[in-house]
């Protein structure tokens, strides 16, 4: 299982990189807009900060514009950039042409197992369901997540759960069999903590020689 940082903030990226276990960074149009900078400029900075992959989401208004944007993003660091594409039939067709050309892609905004199946058919590396939105709007979201994982079987396409807002949602995704998670920095930092662990550390300290 891989843990990714969900942020376009360079300071968050540096802190996550220091942890040593982050696999890369996922961005989206909202997180990039919050930086106040052009998306490709943000991408250029992030690939220099982290050792792993950086996901960049296309925003072009047409398939042609998105294809051109994909190539421009990919060429910034072909070994690190993964192109993130919202899941529609037209975008699946675009990805079916990008992948054989050597561009690694992820299908995002995935809400159904059939969308996941189609992403596997075009050889996307990842499918990215938005878990908190699923929990709010889809009946039995954990079961849908399990179906997504099951549909892929031994496919090269893997599930990367996004939009996770609590440790409970993280656990739900893990128990559904999701392979990878992308999380905001505060949630990543919190998952390794527990009040009883801190209490135990304080208790141990009483027995430590001065």
d(C-alpha 116, C-alpha 157), whole Å: 9
Of residues 143 and 198, which shows the higher confidence score? 143
pLDDT of 209 higher than 80: no
Cβ 46 vs Cβ 10: under 8 Å = yes
> What value does the mean pLDDT take over residues 131-150?
92
> What value does the mean pLDDT take over residues 178-201?
92
- The pLDDT of residue 210: 62
> What value does the mean pLDDT take over residues 98-123?
97
pLDDT of 153 higher than 90: no
- The pLDDT of residue 205: 82
Radius of gyration of the chain (CA): 18
Alpha helices in the chain (DSSP H): 10-19, 29-33, 39-49, 63-74, 89-98, 113-121, 131-137, 141-152, 167-175, 185-191, 195-205
The mean pLDDT of the chain is 95
> What value does the mean pLDDT take over residues 37-43?
97
- The pLDDT of residue 71: 98
> What value does the mean pLDDT take over residues 19-46?
97
- Judged by average pLDDT, the poorest of 48-52, 113-117, 118-122, 138-142 is 138-142
Task: Enumerate domains of the chain plus CATH numbers.
Answer: 2-205 (3.20.20.70)
- Judged by average pLDDT, the poorest of 41-55, 69-83, 118-132, 196-210 is 196-210
pTM of the model: 0.92
d(C-alpha 3, C-alpha 24), whole Å: 8
> What value does the mean pLDDT take over residues 45-65?
97
Indicate the Cα dihedral angle 149, 151, 154, 158, nearest 10°.
-40
Q: Which residue has the tokens 């549909």?
A: 151
d(C-alpha 84, C-alpha 207), whole Å: 52
d(C-alpha 181, C-alpha 173), whole Å: 8
Dihedral sign, Cα of residue 14, residue 19, residue 25, residue 29: negative
Indicate the Cα dihedral angle 106, 45, 23, 74, nearest 10°.
30
């Amino acid at each position: 299982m891989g843990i990714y940082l969900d942020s376009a903030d360079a300071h968050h990226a540096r802190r996550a990189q220091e942890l040593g276990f982050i696999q890369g960074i996922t961005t989206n149009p909202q997180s990039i807009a919050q930086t106040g900078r052009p998306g490709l400029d943000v991408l250029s900075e992030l690939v220099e900060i982290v050792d792993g992959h950086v996901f960049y989401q296309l925003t072009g208004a047409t398939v042609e514009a998105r294809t051109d944007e994909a190539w421009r993003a990919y060429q910034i660091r072909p070994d690190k950039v993964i192109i993130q594409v919202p899941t529609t039939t037209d975008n699946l067709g675009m990805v079916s042409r990008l992948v054989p050309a050597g561009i690694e892609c992820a299908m995002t905004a995935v809400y159904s197992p059939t969308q996941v199946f189609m992403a596997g058919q075009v050889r996307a590396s990842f499918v990215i369901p938005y878990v908190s939105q699923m929990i709010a709007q889809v009946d039995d979201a954990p079961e849908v997540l399990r179906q997504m994982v099951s549909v892929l079987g031994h496919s090269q396409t893997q599930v990367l759960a996004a939009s996770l807002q609590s440790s409970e949602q993280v656990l739900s995704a893990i128990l559904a069999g999701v392979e990878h998670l992308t999380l905001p920095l505060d949630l990543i930092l919190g998952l390794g903590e527990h009040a009883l662990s801190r209490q135990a550390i304080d208790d141990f300290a009483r027995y430590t020689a001065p």
